[in-house]
Amino acid sequence: MFGQAGPEQAYECGKKAKQSVKLWTPTFVLLIFLGTLTSIGFNMVSPTLTKYAVELGASLELAGFLSGMFSITALIARPLSGVIADRLNKKKLLIFATILIGLAAAGYSFSHTISVLIAFRILHGVAFAISSTTTVTLLAAVLPRKHLGEGIGYYGIGHILATAFGPGIGLAIGEGFGLQTTYLVSALLSLFAAAVMSRIKYSEKPVVKQRRKILLSDLLSLKILHFALIGGLFSLLNGVISSFIILLSDERQIQGIGTVFALSAVVLFLIRPFAGRLSDRQNISLILIPALIMSAVAAFIIGAANSLWLILVATVLRSVAQGAAQPSLQTACLRALPANESGVASSTFYLGADLGQGLGPVIGGIISSSWGYDVMFYCCAGLFILGLVLWLLGLLPARIAKATCES
């Protein structure tokens, strides 16, 4: 049964006792706070880096490549991050990765050439891959299995808040004191978070002797690859919307498009806890099938929309679908593998997200430049329909499995 691990796969976490069935523990609350802090720092940097690169003399093409390099680097580093998260102490590894994120942000501030900026961007991508994978692995270790989906849903709220407010904070600091100051503040947030992480009450002692040899199964789990690829569809649409919705609104003379991002953040904030609890109790198909349909409809509406209200309707549909499906798929990945393989479960899930987020804008740019934004979004809708059909027909490389967890 998914999610059940034998005694040989158990971890000692905190006190040497049976894992608590309580969701809201001091450790969990502290992880949410620190994750939100780190995410705010990240979102202060990302929207401004392209502008900063241009100020240093980069062309628009090079600045765009610099921005996309982050996802590419994270994608390459992701499989190894799962291995080390499973084999090393998760708390110490998370502290190390957070320090690297802070150093990368500080490095942006002291970069006076594009080549140096690229070097720190690569470091940032590697550190982010390790941090995000280790965070989910640590959550899987400290959360009760019966509340895993709910816990991941609540943790994601911090990321939503950071996405909503982080860019504005970064831009405000940049306008008042310069972008270099923005990056220094971001670095200080990450370094402060790393320092506080040392106070997390967590210890682990794997009972099973770890292998030194790294196998393919340590890097990527084919058993849950279908969950990751479906999750990547939601990231792909998210990347396309983030990259092209403003350009689409300019072309169609739609005013007030900025409300799309605020509305999306509000809907995600409301849906994540509910979706997390639902994923703990229901078969994942009952969540995923409506989410795929809603995303397809949302993409089609955006492709045809010529007014703001239509795009806002699509935004609600997309945000509900994404907010419900992605944490449910992430939870399913964690439950499908033993507890001592939560690192590879997390990294495999994020591989799909990295692929979608990285390839979406690239493929979308090619399609939109040749056939227009409407065709680009219709193609996105078609991908969701294809994913739905494959899921229903059972052609994906695993059975449709329950995401419930028996305590």
Q: DSSP letters along 12-33, please?
A: --SSSSPPP--S--HHHHHHHH
The per-residue b/e assignment along 303-342, b for 16 or more CB within 10 angstroms, e otherwise, is bebeebeebbbbbbbbbbbbbbbbbbbbbbbbbbbbbbbb
Which DSSP string do the residues of 226-294 spell out, in sequence order?
HHHHHHHHHHHHHHHHHHHHHHHHHHHT---TTHHHHHHHHHHHHHHHHHHHHHHHS-HHHHHHHHHHH
Is the CA virtual torsion 7, 12, 17, 21 positive or negative? negative
End-to-end CA distance of the chain: 11
Residue 79, pLDDT score: 78
With contact defined as beta carbons under 8 Å apart, do 324 and 275 qualify? Answer: yes
The Cα 105–Cα 99 span in angstroms is 10
With contact defined as beta carbons under 8 Å apart, do 132 and 350 qualify? Answer: yes
Secondary structure of residue 407 in the 3-state scheme: coil
The Cα 106–Cα 187 span in angstroms is 5
Residue 13, pLDDT score: 38
Residue 316, pLDDT score: 95
- Tens digit of pLDDT at every position of the chain (407 positions): 233 333 333 333 344 334 456 778 888 888 889 989 998 998 888 777 877 887 888 776 677 677 667 777 887 888 788 778 877 888 889 999 999 999 999 999 999 888 899 899 999 989 988 998 888 888 888 888 777 777 877 888 888 888 778 877 888 898 889 989 999 999 999 999 999 998 887 766 554 445 556 666 666 778 888 888 999 999 899 888 877 887 788 889 888 877 887 888 889 888 877 776 776 666 788 889 999 999 999 999 999 999 999 999 999 999 999 988 988 888 888 888 887 777 788 888 888 888 887 778 778 878 887 898 899 999 999 999 999 998 888 755 444 444 333 43
Residue 294, pLDDT score: 97
With contact defined as beta carbons under 8 Å apart, do 377 and 303 qualify? Answer: yes
> 308-336 and 114-142 are packed helices; what angle lies between their axes, rounded to 10 degrees?
60
HSE (side-chain half, CA atoms, 13 Å) at 101: 34
Tokens, residue 237: 């649409």
Is the CA virtual torsion 286, 298, 359, 34 positive or negative? negative
With contact defined as beta carbons under 8 Å apart, do 320 and 267 qualify? Answer: yes
Nearest-CA neighbor of 305 among 293, 296, 314? 314
> 148-177 and 259-281 are packed helices; what angle lies between their axes, rounded to 10 degrees?
160
Task: Map out the domains of the chain with their CATH numbers.
Answer: 11-204 (1.20.1250.20), 220-393 (1.20.1250.20)
Residue 397, pLDDT score: 43
CA torsion, ordered 71, 42, 80, 28, to nearest 10 deg: -140
Cβ-count burial of 289 within 10 angstroms (0-12 exposed, 13-18 middle, 19+ buried)? middle
Is the CA virtual torsion 319, 169, 48, 153 positive or negative? negative
State the DSSP code for 307.
S
Element at 137 (helix H, strand E) = helix 114-142
pTM listed for this prediction: 0.71
Residue 407, pLDDT score: 39
The Cα 264–Cα 220 span in angstroms is 32
Nearest-CA neighbor of 335 among 73, 81, 204, 151? 151
